[in-house]
A = this chain, B = another copy of it.
Amino acid sequence: MIAGGSFLPGPVAVHPEVLAAMARPMISHRSPEMHHIMRRLQDRLRPLFRTTRPVLLGTCSATGYMELAARSAGAKLLAVDGGYFGWRFGAVAESCGVEVVRLMVPPGEVVTPDLLQDALDAHFPDAVSFVHSETATGALCDLGALARTVREHSDALVLVDAVTSVGGSAVETDAWGLDFVFTGSQKALGLPPGLALGVASERLVARARALPARGWYLDVVKHLEAAERHEPTQTPALPLVYALDHQLDRIARLGGVEGRWAHHRALQAVLYRWVNENPGWSFLAPSGARSMTVSALRPPRGLPTREVLRLMAARGYTLTGGLGELADAVVRVGHMGDITPVELSMMLSALAELRVVAQR
Contacts and interface: CB of A to CB of B under 8 A. Distances in A.
A33 to B, nearest CB: 10
A349 interface: no
A193 interface: yes
A296 B212 CA distance: 36
B193 A236 contact: yes
A272 interface: no
A29 B236 contact: no
A6 interface: yes
Given A60-B64, A63-B217, A184-B235, A25 B10 contact: no
Interface in A83-97: 91-92, 95-97
A214 interface: yes
Given A26-B186, A96-B213, A213-B95, A63 B234 contact: yes
The number of times this chain is found in the oligomer is 2
Contacts of A217: 60-61, 63-64, 67, 92, 218
Interface in A190-219: 192-195, 212-219
Interface stretch (A14-22, A116-124, A297-305): A14-22
A175 interface: no
A238 interface: yes
A61 B31 CA distance: 18
A211 B110 CA distance: 36
Nearest to A18: B23
A165 interface: no
A34 to B, nearest CB: 10
A144 interface: no
Interface residues of A, number: 57
A318 interface: yes
A20 B63 CA distance: 28
Contacts of A10: 235
B20 A213 contact: no
A67 B184 contact: no
Contacts of A234: 60-61, 63-64
A97 B318 CA distance: 45
Contact of A238 (B25, B28, B60, B194): B194
Given A28-B320, A63-B235, A195-B237, 11 more contacts: A26-B186, A60-B64, A63-B234, A64-B217, A92-B215, A97-B212, A186-B235, A215-B215, A215-B218, A237-B240, A240-B240
25 contacts: A6-B28, A11-B235, A11-B238, A12-B26, A13-B25, A13-B26, A20-B23, A22-B22, A22-B23, A22-B239, A26-B186, A26-B192, A59-B194, A59-B237, A60-B217, A61-B234, A62-B235, A67-B215, A96-B215, A97-B212, A186-B235, A194-B238, A194-B240, A215-B218, A237-B240
